[in-house]
Homo-oligomer: A and B are copies of this chain.
Amino acid sequence: MTTFADVTAVSTMAPFAFTVDISPRWTIAGHPNGGYLLAMVGRAVAELSTQPHVLAASAHFLRSPEPGPAQIHVEPLRTGRTTSQLRGRLLVDDTPCVEALFTMGTIAPTPGPAWQDSLPDPAMTDPAVAIRLGPVTPAGQPAAIMAEAEVRLDPDCHRAFAGSPSGRGEIRGWLALPGGASFDPVSLLYAVDAFPAATFDIATTGWVPTLELTAYLRALPAPGPLRVVNKARLVDGPWVDQACHVWDSTGRLVAQATQLAGVRLP
């Protein structure tokens, strides 16, 4: 078994530069998953940060890199007492593919949220009856990543993958890493982009390429699978925004993200 830690390993190459190896197995139709790439960059950034945890990460996706060797360059921007900011970029052969900004801090354990709004309901089918996605997309393209991460959809969301989208624009279910490894702030950066595009629950379309992804990490996740709700909000022109909420196995909201992506509804 190849763990998530294995496929996001970073090796120091120079004081602010790392080499990484983008796995061909963490891809859909040959494209590395964006959250997987962001997690790699986040891991390199955490190596050079005086604070241990990502609080906020914002990534712009310039090009989809080929799997294989790549470099990550990190530039500290400001080092503070409670928060610090760093820039991370992933390059292949000196061509930038992912540009990201990070605010780092320390996520201390708290008994629970001090206040919360009504959030999307994380109540979901038991993971045992949720349906695991296989390594082929509804459009028949290879989704090698689905043989690595375990994405299990609520049965009524899974209908979107059998050609019957509900029109709600919502994909929800459970997520586990290879071997059931515990999530941490780095792998949460993958979690917020691990689910299929919520637009597949509106219409079957081609690739939905992410332009921008912003993640906020709100608590350290307890061991166990995550509950994920990915929701489309507005399709206007050729773009859609999606909001992703992630709860840990105790029901605590541990990450929130939004992304802007390209989409062509039929």
A contact residues vs B (CB 8 Å cutoff) = 55-56, 58-60, 62-63, 77-78, 83, 85, 87, 96, 99-103, 107-108, 110, 112-117, 119, 168-169, 202, 211-212, 214, 216, 218-219, 231-237, 239-241, 253, 256, 258, 260, 265
Contacts and interface: CB of A to CB of B under 8 A. Distances in A.
Is chain A's binding surface mostly helix, strand, loop or mixed?
strand
Given A58-B212, A60-B103, A62-B77, A169 B237 contact: no
Given A116-B235, A218-B241, 18 more contacts: A78-B96, A87-B99, A99-B101, A101-B101, A101-B212, A110-B236, A112-B236, A113-B234, A115-B234, A117-B234, A119-B233, A214-B214, A216-B260, A218-B236, A218-B237, A219-B236, A219-B237, A234-B253
B99 A85 contact: yes
B214 A212 contact: yes
Contacts of A113: 234-236
Contact of A234 (B96, B99, B116, B236): B116
A52 to B, nearest CB: 14
A141 to B, nearest CB: 22
A259 to B, nearest CB: 9
B265 A103 contact: no
A175 to B, nearest CB: 20
Contacts of A115: 169, 202, 232, 234-235, 240, 265
Contacts of A78: 62-63, 96
Contact of A56 (B114, B168, B169, B212): B212
Looking at A63, A115, A231, A240, which has the most chain B CB atoms within 10 Å of its CB?
A: A115
A10 to B, nearest CB: 21
A239 B119 CA distance: 17
